[in-house]
């Protein structure tokens, strides 16, 4: 079973994922796969350099992710092009790593933006208020509020994500660990019933 975990930047996905990992569940990080596939001479590296040019490379000829991020945040067509280049290979790798009947939690930030629901059995959306979201990202990433709002504007509105979720986890709630434990218990029960 594949459970996609998504949510906007700073909503608390990492905390939730780390807690689930601490319970012994298998976690797949789509961002980590994306970084691996962008390494020199890997499939996404070659396609990105062919489409975006060598100006995005650092001195050691690796893709400079900061340069690339600036390009795609300023140009929606280029952001869509990057996603079109990279996402099929990322999804293929996720599917390869989660072939058996175990429960897999896949952290994938753009799951809903890219309409990838068909690859998952359940969608869990991690959410919080916009104020908390901005505060967390400013503190964590040392960005200005304006930069954070630019990132949030590029993401799907939280109301839309909530509408498309099977489960919504409010990361600001009290006793969040207890809530996750309850979700995991119900999930295990559902999986047993389906066998």
Q: pTM for the full model?
A: 0.87
Q: What residue ranges do the domains of the chain occupy? A: 1-25+103-195, 33-102
1-25+103-195 shares its CATH topology with 33-102: yes
Q: 159-182 pLDDT, tens per residue? A: 999 999 999 999 999 999 999 999
Contact 140, 133 (CB under 8 A): no
Which tokens sit at 87?
């996402």
Q: What is the pLDDT of residue 194?
A: 78
Q: What are phi and psi of 167, to 5 degrees?
A: -135, 135
| CB atoms near residue 21 (< 10 Å) | 14
What fold, for 33-102? Rossmann fold (3.40.50)
Q: What is the pLDDT of residue 195?
A: 66
Q: What is the pLDDT of residue 56?
A: 95
CA dihedral 52, 53, 59, 61 (to 10 degrees): 80
Q: 35-74 pLDDT, tens per residue? A: 999 999 898 999 999 999 999 999 999 999 989 988 988 8
In whole angstroms, what is the distance from residue 188 CA to residue 26 CA?
Answer: 13
Q: What is the CATH number of domain 1-25+103-195?
A: 3.40.50.300
Give the H/E segment covering residue 4. strand 2-6
In whole angstroms, what is the distance from residue 187 CA to residue 109 CA?
Answer: 22
3 exposed, middle or buried (CB, 10 Å; 0-12, 13-18, 19+)? buried
Contact 164, 117 (CB under 8 A): yes
**Sign of the alpha-carbon dihedral angle for 109, 89, 92, 79:** positive
| CB atoms near residue 171 (< 10 Å) | 21
- Between 104 and 100, residue with greater pLDDT: 104
DSSP per position, 48-88: HHHHH-GGGB-TTSSB-HHHHHHHHHH-HHHHHHHHHHHHH
Reported confidence tier of residue 132, pLDDT bands at 50, 70, 90:
very high
DSSP per position, 105-159: EEE-TTTTTTT-GGG-SEEEEEE--HHHHHHHHHHHH---HHHHHHHHHHSPPHH
């Amino acid at each position: 079973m594949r459970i996609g975990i998504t949510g906007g930047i700073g909503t608390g996905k990492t905390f939730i994922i780390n807690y689930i990992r601490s319970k012994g569940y298998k976690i797949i990080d789509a961002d980590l796969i994306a970084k691996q596939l962008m390494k020199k001479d890997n499939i996404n590296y070659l396609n990105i350099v062919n489409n975006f040019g060598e100006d995005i490379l650092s001195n050691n000829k690796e893709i400079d992710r900061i340069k690339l991020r600036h390009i795609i945040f300023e140009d929606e067509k280029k952001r869509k092009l990057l996603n079109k280049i990279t996402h099929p290979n990322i999804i293929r790798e996720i599917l390869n790593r989660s072939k058996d009947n175990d429960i897999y939690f896949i952290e994938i930030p753009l799951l809903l933006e890219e309409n990838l629901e068909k690859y998952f059995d359940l969608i869990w959306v991690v959410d919080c208020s916009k104020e908390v979201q901005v505060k967390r990202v400013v503190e964590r990433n040392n960005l200005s509020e304006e930069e954070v709002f630019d990132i949030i504007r590029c993401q799907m509105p939280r109301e839309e994500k909530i509408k498309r979720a099977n489960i919504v986890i409010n990361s600001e709630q009290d006793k969040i660990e207890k809530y996750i434990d309850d979700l995991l218990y119900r999930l295990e029960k559902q999986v047993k019933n389906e066998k």
